[in-house]
Structure 1
Amino acid sequence: MNNTKVWHGFSLDDLFIICRGNAKNINSKKDEGDVSLISAKDNNNGFNKNVIPTSKETIYKNVYTVNNNGNGVCLSYYHEYPLIASSDVTILKPKYDKFCNISVALFITTLIRQQKSKFNYGYKMSESRVKKQKILLPLKQGFDESNNSPTIEDIDFECMINYINNIITNKKSNYKYKIQNKYNNITYDEQLVSLDKKQWKEFNIDELFEADNIYRGKRLTKAKQIIGDTPYISSSGISNGVNNFISNDVKVRKGNNCLTLANSGSVGACFYHQYEFIASDHVTCLKSNKLNEFSYLFVATMLNRLSTKYNFNREINDKRIKREKILLPLNDKGEIDYEYMEQYVKNILIENMSQSEIK
């Protein structure tokens, strides 16, 4: 961004109509619907679940949200879709249509998040405090602040849009380059038989993974987590189970090039991790020297089916894991067909890369 730009502080109250979410009993069972329930989460845009709102819960669309407390205090998101929000969330309804542009929204939410250092558990970001917050916005070229106070018409929306779009374009370009290079050497097997033509057999979990390589992570409370670069894997069903990025190196249990299986929370959620990570006590690590990046993904998909058998009241403990069975394809010798699993996933990757393009 041009360093010579003129910036001006606008209060959020000047730009938005500000109110508090009024969704009730968000942790209770609600009927599944097509309206998103937003709560004060620190990931996934605050999304909790899709619900059918009650007549007393206000539905919003094309609004910003700001988390009032919790681990995600001051995190801000933009939502183009219908939503209801918990009382831990403040709603920012744009007074001007120009703030409903997704690139402008990404610019604005980043600025709001920069206020986080002011707030904590003892000093929450209440509705009244949100109204008082100011954000610096760029002004159009040639504006003379010495003669006039800037208005909404003086804000350089084009500058914000171009800035965000350039970031997105560069990230997409880098991602496309990395993906193409990573999978440049894998080949497609046109002769690979379909899943329904293969013979299958059930195997115990401990037949696929060596006993020493089935282990639970260790408990590490949020208060003891030190911010860093190592993924902390918990029982979340999204973002590969990544709950945080930390640097703890003492009294932790690490994993690398293996699967994690959620024991609680999103019970049965299974993800492959090619990188080093720290495992919470809510996941079990599963490692096998016979699996690679591609066959691990095949097995993870099969293990994800366990989620239908378990819930909050029936978690996957250590004994249950070892008794669980997994259905796997066989080769001509009646053994687990590792090569087939590997090639099947390679075929899918190549098909997806050829059928879609990162634009």
Structure 2
Amino acid sequence: MNELKLTDKEWKGFLIGNLFDVKIGKSIDGNKVNREQGYYAYITRKEQNNGLDGFIDYDEAYLNTDYPVITIGNETAEPFVQNYPFFTGTKVNILKAKQTLSREVLSFIVSSLKQHKSKYSYSFTINSTRLRKQVVMLPVNGKNAPDWQFMEDFIKQKEQKQIDEITDYYASQAFSLMIDTGNLKGTNWKEFFISDYFDFIRGNQSNMAKCQTGKIPLVSAKKVDNGYKDFIEYNGKSLFSSHIITLNNDGDGGVGMAYYQPAECALDTHVTALLPKLELSKFTMLFIACSITNQRDKFSHGYSINNNRLKFQKIMLPVNKDNLPDWQLMADFMQKIEQDKIKTVLAYYNSTKNERGGVTRLADNVKWQTFVIEDICEIYSGVRLIKQDMQEGIIPFIGASDSHNGVTAFVANSNASLDKNVLGVNYNGSVVESFYHPYECLFSDDVKRLKIKDCSVGKHAYLFLKMAILQQKSKYQYGYKFNAKRMAKQKILLPVNSDNSPNWAFMENYMKQIELEKIQVILKYYQ
């Protein structure tokens, strides 16, 4: 099917009241229902999560069994499509189509309804009377009637594109995690020094500003585009042969990234070339590059890679019966990844590892110990920034929220709270809720920043720490805030090494395995 475009259609305005029967929900006292242990969806005026505000059990005479329908909150004017039976209250409008319309068509109409959201507010609500008179613009067919088929096909096409992007992203994540955790079916793994199999040569392009545009790839310490910065003319400096791995020594966000280079190239001085000491295939080199990249969390702009550190750097590789690197297995795996990434990660995933007591079952066998948060983390405060002073921009602003990873706005402001690679913990608002932020963002004064003192740990250690802190959530509330003093003295349980220090390596591997399991479920669902 050719790509459908909205600009290819004629459009016309239609009254909601001519397309839908509009009614309100039934009277349910939200303060008297348990939203955590019920069966049916409870839809309220929330602007996120499809309006879902928990699951409840209630008198089924109040249950809405007509679906799919559109719901839209009076004050928030945020429309959603509901595909299952649900309960809702009198502050939510329910739009039931006067003719049978698919979920996809309703989703298209929701997009059109959202264009009118800004005209409604708490003082001018989108009640059922106003909603019936609301005009929405829709594409029309040759008879000037709504083109339902086009709307359905457009949404299906858009959703399929999103599914393809999501599954490709998660397949890439699973692929990296499977290599990082040694989770390939039928394999044993072992540590090896990179220096056992590669020689190291530092790049030599020290003045890239003087390079002339040409056809030779110039590799820099970028985190995208295989490290390519530009294409240059030969300038007399030695070039590097094809079939090597390049490794970013430093750089903001790119340090530790490794790339396979299939063509002759020039390297800047922030990049090291890894030249194989033995004959390795392209696909084996791709596997090794991924394994090296998986170590990048231990490096940063302030802790860069040099040849001395690289000489002692180890990577995990699958081994053969002689306990040597299984180059052929690596090549076969990468070749299949190139052909069909999703099918390959599903086929190679070692699901029995967890069924027979793998890493995700080891928590019961690990020694645990109590730690005071201030002993393992630095604690920093956020900075007050009121809504009136916010400048619209692209920097995430982290508020005391329990959703959207804590992001409540995007701003152009700057202040002392600008930070990344930290755990943001709410001491106010949604108390104790916490989110990991690998990207630069600003923090509200209602959010504390926790930075693990061991600078070698990364994302997955922070995710484990998050879960450990969340176990204390029940003792704090709006009237008993998780302030800096209480946070510093709060005790949490963590796995430990033989010397009773936090076993960050176990925690990271544990969370990687959990993430990998979840990704496998997603990929199987969409297959």
The TM-score by the shorter chain falls in which range? 0.7 to 0.9
Q: In the TM superposition, what is the alpha-carbon distance from 1:324 to its structure 2 partner? A: 0.8
Contact 1:23 1:84 in 2 (8 A): no
1:225-262 alpha-carbon deviations (Å, 9 max, x no partner): 444333332333333223x3321415673331111222
**Which of 259, 272, 281 does residue 423 from structure 2 map onto?**
259
- Residue 110 of structure 2 is matched in structure 1 by 109
Q: Secondary structure at the match of 1:163?
A: helix
Q: How does 1:210-359 map to 2 (within 5 A)?
A: 210=378, 214-242=379-407, 244-250=408-414, 253-288=417-452, 289-354=455-520, 356-357=522-523, 358-359=526-527
In 2, the alpha carbon distance for the partners of 1:166 and 1:260 equals 37
Q: How does 1:39-188 map to 2 (within 5 A)?
A: 39-53=44-58, 59=64, 61-62=66-67, 63-69=69-75, 73-98=76-101, 101-140=102-141, 143-145=142-144, 150=145, 155-182=146-173, 184-185=175-176, 186-188=179-181
- Residue 363 of structure 2 is matched in structure 1 by 195
Q: Secondary structure at the match of 1:136?
A: strand
Q: 1:355 to 1:35 in 2, by over 3 A?
A: closer
Report which stretch shifted further, 39-48 or 54-63.
54-63
Q: In the TM superposition, what is the alpha-carbon distance from 1:197 to its structure 2 partner? A: 1.7
TM-score (norm 2): 0.58
In 1, the alpha carbon distance for the partners of 2:391 and 2:129 equals 31
Query: Bigger relative contact order, structure 1 or 2, given CA contacts below 8 A and separation 6+?
Result: 1
Report which stretch shifted further, 41-50 or 217-226.
217-226
**Which of 2, 5, 8 does residue 9 from structure 2 map onto?**
5
1:128-150 alpha-carbon deviations (Å, 9 max, x no partner): 2211111222234xx244xxxx3
CA RMSD, 1 decimal: 2.8
Q: 1:305 to 1:172 in 2, by over 3 A?
A: same
Q: 1:44 to 1:282 in 2, by over 3 A?
A: farther
Q: In the TM superposition, what is the alpha-carbon distance from 1:296 to its structure 2 partner? A: 1.2
Q: In the TM superposition, what is the alpha-carbon distance from 1:16 to its structure 2 partner? A: 1.3
Q: In the TM superposition, what is the alpha-carbon distance from 1:85 to its structure 2 partner? A: 3.0
Q: In the TM superposition, what is the alpha-carbon distance from 1:332 to its structure 2 partner? A: 2.4
Letter in 2 for 1:217: G
Report which stretch shifted further, 172-181 or 73-82.
172-181
Q: 1:21 to 1:219 in 2, by over 3 A?
A: farther
1:180-207 alpha-carbon deviations (Å, 9 max, x no partner): 4455444224697611221110100011
Q: 1:228 to 1:15 in 2, by over 3 A?
A: farther
In 2, the alpha carbon distance for the partners of 1:67 and 1:53 equals 21
Listed as ranges, the gaps of 5+ residues in structure 1 are none
Aligned-residue sequence identity (percent) comes to: 28
Contact 1:200 1:328 in 2 (8 A): yes
In 2, the alpha carbon distance for the partners of 1:126 and 1:107 equals 21
Listed as ranges, the gaps of 5+ residues in structure 2 are 189-357
Q: Secondary structure at the match of 1:236?
A: coil
In 1, the alpha carbon distance for the partners of 2:34 and 2:514 equals 35
Letter in 1 for 2:506: Y
In 2, the alpha carbon distance for the partners of 1:349 and 1:341 equals 12
Letter in 1 for 2:71: T
Letter in 1 for 2:103: I
Q: In the TM superposition, what is the alpha-carbon distance from 1:42 to its structure 2 partner? A: 2.1
